[in-house]
Structure 1
């Protein structure tokens, strides 16, 4: 990741991640009255980080990374024109403004609310997440330039071109090349396929731990795209259902940071891709909630207190850190 854009007064680096949920048929057991038939399921793209990474070594994560100044460049305006213009770029009505945590200074609040740039947060964060999906997994969440279709359906990733490896190397060196790639393909980042999901702040642990304000987006795809790890930061890629991911974590086959584990558990509530996509579309005006986990230090371990999943005020889920 290159040239991160860091608000001067904020303790958090701004970042974005995209949860890719792809349609994946699952087989329903046969009954005497009917044969075995596929039912509509979905799986999530999980990337395994290299053990050599300073941040979350060996963890399984969703594609994502730190926002770059290029994600807010005014050059994007020419690419989105003439069909999509500020302030919303066709994203629909603006959701309620996210609430800044009580106790933050005015300077920090201004930095968290938005940095100076040509693009609004709703667009820049989506471009960041889409760029990172390309850098880390080789997935191109782009669409041909032009007006949007009236129907809201799960999207499709672009098939990778023959010179994909060269473009990925260039984008990793300089995020500005992602805009060049989009112009080369006469496409725009498919910001309309990314739905607000949640926002997580990294709690304070010690001065050496990186802290992020990370927006989570959810993107439903009709079928899983071809995925290629970058053999550097990312060493492996796999598609798992939410239940498979949870079982792998509980059996200690893989490891998630608390936000990833929490969001995967949320996704267990959806039995099909169409149900998940409909939920995302229906809740667009609600925006994304912001969460700051609470650290609990005991004599022998470190525990994070996560938001309640039961709806009971004051109730927390406990998550023991690795």
Structure 2
């Protein structure tokens, strides 16, 4: 991935056959090395729920009254004004990766997510293979390597001619993992033909023991397709909107993941969430700013990708605006970003997590971790004046903030810089 252009905007599938299914032959630059990658593929789901009307109206009235009596506006009032909430779950302290961190639900891609049996589940609700490919796979914008040539297919020796396209399989994985971790089951009994909010079921609406099905899924992910076939439903892949692709930096832990982030919107917050406490120990619904507030006060821990995405979402304050943005951006594609970590000269410690587009981001990032980390001779404050194009997460201790003064690709939102206790403002304006 080149720093100068992010990615070739014309680098997407235009041909028929395997190319149309996003399962094309590996291109020379992806090479054999891409088939033995030092990371696993994963899907993550950013679940957005419309805030109850009474809660939104009440808090906005509080803000209006406060302004009338001279109480200054703060970041807290912006939090109250947000018309939606996100779901985040706290990983178990026993987790080998990101222990105790608050993350979006999700997990590793399984071979069964590509199973051709899924075509039967979709057909039962009236969705043809051709319509699914047309609606979800023919994206005009950039396609990351995990979509063009999913390593899971190669690693498990799956039959590429009969596999689901990665665009569909990764959505199924995100829905399956979310069900396992939270009990929220995003399925539909009717095929959809246009952008829509996601459908979810209550614990008793399918007349099935969903708790038992979750146990079966943890034993064998193949049981997810059986659940859907028996219930005559299918994963609501239409309700998931592609958001971004994050690759774990080479210097973070002993496990790395190439993770596709999806966003889905729910008209109502699920009330019967049941955690899988072997993986996650608690959950939290909150606004983007409230999560960053808690993080700044050390109440929760957030990894840089979560900080980045929450900072992006601070641009949108209503549920309607967020849904409109996600649905209208669905055809613009995503790129794979691998942050590059480097230390600074700050005496009390400091680091930068560089993103593509930053002047300090390498032209050829070391995807496989064969090189050494970079040490910068300047402090964080000095770099602010020395670097023109800035696109990074600044880390000091446990706190991290996004700084971005460039326009992101693929029609994505430019993240706002969190400034506590002042309102969030655009970086470097």
* TM norm structure 1: 0.84
Q: Which residue of 2 aligns with 1:68?
A: 110
Cα distance in 1 for residues equivalent to 2:290 and 2:203: 28
Cα distance in 1 for residues equivalent to 2:211 and 2:152: 35
1:315 correspondence with 2:390: yes
1:293 correspondence with 2:339: yes
Residues 103-122 of structure 1: pairs in structure 2 closer than 5 A: 110=149, 115=154, 116=158, 117=160, 118-122=163-167
Which residue of 169, 173, 192 maps to 1:148?
Answer: 192
**Preserved contact between residue 307 and residue 315 of structure 1 (Cα < 8 Å):** no
Shift of 1:254: 0.3
Q: Which residue of 1 aligns with 2:368?
A: none
Q: Which runs of 5+ in 1 are unaligned?
A: 1-6, 33-37, 102-108
Which residue of 18, 25, 48 maps to 1:21?
Answer: 48
Deviations 1:156-195 (A, max 9, x none): 3111236121111100110001111111221000000000
Which residue of 150, 153, 159 maps to 2:202?
Answer: 159
**Preserved contact between residue 150 and residue 166 of structure 2 (Cα < 8 Å):** no
1:133 correspondence with 2:182: no
Between 1 and 2, higher relative CO (CA 8 Å, sep ≥ 6) is seen in 1
Q: Which residue of 2 aligns with 1:305?
A: 354
Equivalent residue of 1:286, what SS? coil
1:242 correspondence with 2:242: no
Indicate the RMSD between aligned Cα atoms, in angstroms: 2.7
Which residue of 237, 240, 250 maps to 1:204?
Answer: 250
Q: Which residue of 1 aligns with 2:362?
A: none
**Preserved contact between residue 144 and residue 245 of structure 2 (Cα < 8 Å):** no
Q: Which residue of 2 aligns with 1:195?
A: 241
Judged with a 3 Å threshold, the aligned counterparts in structure 2 of structure 1 residues 307 and 251 are, in CA distance, closer, same or farther, namely farther
Shift of 1:97: 4.0
Cα distance in 1 for residues equivalent to 2:109 and 2:227: 18
Cα distance in 1 for residues equivalent to 2:82 and 2:296: 25
Shift of 1:95: 3.3
Shift of 1:314: 3.1
**Preserved contact between residue 46 and residue 263 of structure 2 (Cα < 8 Å):** yes
**Preserved contact between residue 156 and residue 223 of structure 1 (Cα < 8 Å):** no
Cα distance in 1 for residues equivalent to 2:304 and 2:81: 30
Q: Which residue of 2 aligns with 1:216?
A: 261
Judged with a 3 Å threshold, the aligned counterparts in structure 2 of structure 1 residues 92 and 55 are, in CA distance, closer, same or farther, namely closer
Q: Which residue of 2 aligns with 1:104?
A: none
Moved more, 176-185 or 120-129: 176-185
* TM norm structure 2: 0.64
Q: Which residue of 1 aligns with 2:133?
A: 88
Alignment: residue pair count: 299
Equivalent residue of 1:29, what SS? helix
Cα distance in 1 for residues equivalent to 2:136 and 2:151: 21
Judged with a 3 Å threshold, the aligned counterparts in structure 2 of structure 1 residues 317 and 265 are, in CA distance, closer, same or farther, namely same
Cα distance in 2 for residues equivalent to 1:255 and 1:306: 21
Q: Which runs of 5+ in 2 are unaligned?
A: 1-33, 66-79, 359-386, 399-429
Equivalent residue of 1:231, what SS? coil
Cα distance in 1 for residues equivalent to 2:150 and 2:50: 38
Which residue of 163, 173, 177 maps to 2:219?
Answer: 173
Cα distance in 2 for residues equivalent to 1:157 and 1:313: 46
Cα distance in 2 for residues equivalent to 1:92 and 1:215: 15
Deviations 1:186-232 (A, max 9, x none): 100000000010000111117x6111110000001101113111111
Equivalent residue of 2:307, what SS? helix
